[in-house]
DNA sequence: TTCAAATTGCCCCAACTGGGGTATTGATAT
DNA sequence: ATATCAATACCCCAGTTGGGGCAATTTGAA
């Protein structure tokens, strides 16, 4: 029986090594490529022959050079037969939805046990669309609400849109400001700043400043 | 007497508006352009005639699309007569130095009073190289140490280079992890994680996770 | 005009963070 | 051999952050 050929795209060397190690323990898989960003796998695919062309790509969403969503878009356009499963640490509505639109077939959280990822890859290879249990509900409701109201413009769920004011606050966060400094910049009470930031966190589905900055700077 | 023509490049709408307003109060200045990222001013310059070609550009370092350092590099290559003054919230050695290398003539912190910025622009117009008082020392020592030891490779001060391990830790920060979660990921004690993060902060000259993420994701 | 959303502001409190130390180990270079 | 440095780990403590509420006011849309 043919081995399932896997390519890994993941900027964390640690996780990349762990995944490669994990798959190497199973006879049914063969890791045909390891990459740390979207650019490098795209370059590599262009030089690949049938022998080392992956069946399935495990793709990190957040990466330098070219992020997972951009890479997925490009790869699915040129190699529609490759199935792509996104790996992420975030349960970010926008990214989940963008990944699906970009052509990803699966969506797993990085902190799932390796066995779950393994199962997901099998499922994917057999035509399934594996999704981490914890985000399945979210995706369903996203798709549903997106079908329901096609009258809106941006294909992004309205609840996720940050208001103008919130963007200004977020900018303050990105600039590394504290409640107090942001408050001074915007002529607001620190309490207000805090309220806005709490709301931003809810919309971006993060719980810390660092994650908010990351979510924002790494956005589409 | 000819007015000094200013272009502003700044992604914060608030600050952009404030700067424009500030300069409009003075007869000796004329704001000939306002932009929110490096890409847009470069596009605009290509379409500019002598009339609306700026003498001086105030350029934010950290911006979407094309950051201030990249933009400065491009602009100085095509329009060497335009003087560029960087605006930033960070006293970041690497960026200060990169800005100078890219061709910036001045380097001011955003939280300087507007009068200081005004004076700096005048000074720049008269051939000076204005630098915020608070970072002057830093720049001097940087240039000095860089002239002293030209034997090193990267044109970046060695003290600023993060070790491999520190990069892994930084990755944890960028992923929004806490001391504990990063510690679990890397099989370390939370104490160790903290020590590493303290060292990273020193090297990057930041004091918070958000600023570290920003400094890293927004790096050259 | 009337209702919903956005913006502003405040309280409490547990938890986490950042800065200051110090110390041990192993590797590398002199 | 030995000095230096990276990596590991711990202590203390002030200050900040994040999450849970609640409520007044302004704005915009129906």
Query: Could you tell me whether strands A56-60 and A106-109 are parallel, antiparallel, or unpaired per DSSP bridges?
Result: unpaired
Q: Which residue has the higher pLDDT, A32 or A63?
A: A32
Quick: pLDDT tens for B53-102: 899 999 887 766 667 777 887 787 778 778 888 887 655 555 665 666 56
3-class secondary-structure state, position B109: strand
**Cβ B214–A212 below 8 Å, yes or no?**
no
Task: Note the pLDDT of residue A101.
Answer: 55
Least confident stretch, A66-75, B5-14, B78-87, B168-177: A66-75
Say if residues B120 and B108 touch (Cβ distance below 8 Å): yes
d(CA A37, CA A67): 7
Q: Which residue is nearest to nucleotide C6 (CA to C1')?
A: A163
Mean pLDDT of B150-176: 62
Contacts of B62 in chain A (CB under 8 A): 174-175
Task: Note the pLDDT of residue B44.
Answer: 86
Q: Residue A214 belongs to what H/E stretch?
A: helix A209-217
Q: Which residue is nearest to nucleotide C16 (CA to C1')?
A: B178
Measured between CA atoms, how close is B76 to chain A, in angstroms?
A: 25
Quick: pLDDT tens for B103-137: 677 777 776 677 778 877 887 777 655 655 444 44
- Residue that the structure tokens 């495990």 belong to: A58
d(CA B184, CA B136): 41
Question: What is the DSSP code string of A57-125?
Answer: EEEESS-SSS-HHHHHHHHHHH-TTSEEEEEES---HHHHHHHHHHT--EEEETTS-HHHHHHHHHHHH
Sign of the CA dihedral running B11, B12, B17, B19? negative
Question: Closest partner residue to A171 among B12, B208, B212, by Cβ?
Answer: B12
Strand order in the sheet with B83-88: B29-35, B4-9, B56-60, B83-88, B106-109
Nucleotides of chain C within 7 Å of a protein C-beta?
6-11, 16-23
Task: Note the pLDDT of residue A168.
Answer: 81
Mean pLDDT of A18-37: 86
Mean pLDDT of A144-167: 46
**Cβ B213–A217 below 8 Å, yes or no?**
yes
d(CA B163, CA B127): 40
Task: Note the pLDDT of residue B120.
Answer: 78
Q: Which domains does chain A have, with CATH numbers?
A: 4-146 (3.40.50.2300), 162-217 (1.10.10.10)
- CB of A195 within 7 Å of some strand C atom: yes
Select the residue from A10, A169, A175, A183 to test the B interface by mutation, using most B Cβ atoms within 10 A.
Answer: A175
């Amino acid at each position: 029986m043919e081995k399932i050929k896997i390519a890994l795209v993941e900027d964390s060397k640690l996780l990349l090594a762990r995944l490669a190690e994990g798959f190497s323990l199973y006879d049914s898989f063969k890791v045909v490529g390891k990459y740390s960003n979207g650019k490098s796998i795209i370059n590599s695919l262009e030089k690949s022959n049938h022998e080392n062309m992956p069946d399935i790509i495990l793709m990190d969403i957040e990466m330098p050079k070219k992020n997972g969503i951009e890479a997925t878009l490009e790869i699915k356009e040129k190699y529609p037969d490759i199935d792509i499963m996104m790996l992420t640490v975030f349960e970010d509505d926008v990214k989940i939805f963008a990944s699906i639109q970009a052509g990803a077939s699966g969506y797993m959280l990085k902190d799932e046990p390796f066995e779950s990822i393994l199962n997901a890859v099998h499922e994917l290879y057999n035509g399934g669309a594996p999704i981490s249990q914890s985000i399945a509900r979210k995706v369903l409701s996203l798709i549903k609400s997106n079908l329901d109201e096609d009258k809106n413009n941006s294909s992004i769920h309205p609840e996720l849109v940050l208001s103008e004011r919130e963007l200004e606050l977020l900018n303050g966060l990105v600039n590394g400001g504290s409640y107090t400094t942001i408050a001074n910049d915007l002529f607001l009470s620190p309490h207000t700043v805090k309220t806005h930031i709490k709301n931003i966190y809810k919309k971006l589905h993060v719980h810390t400043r660092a994650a908010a900055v990351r979510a924002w700077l790494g956005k589409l």
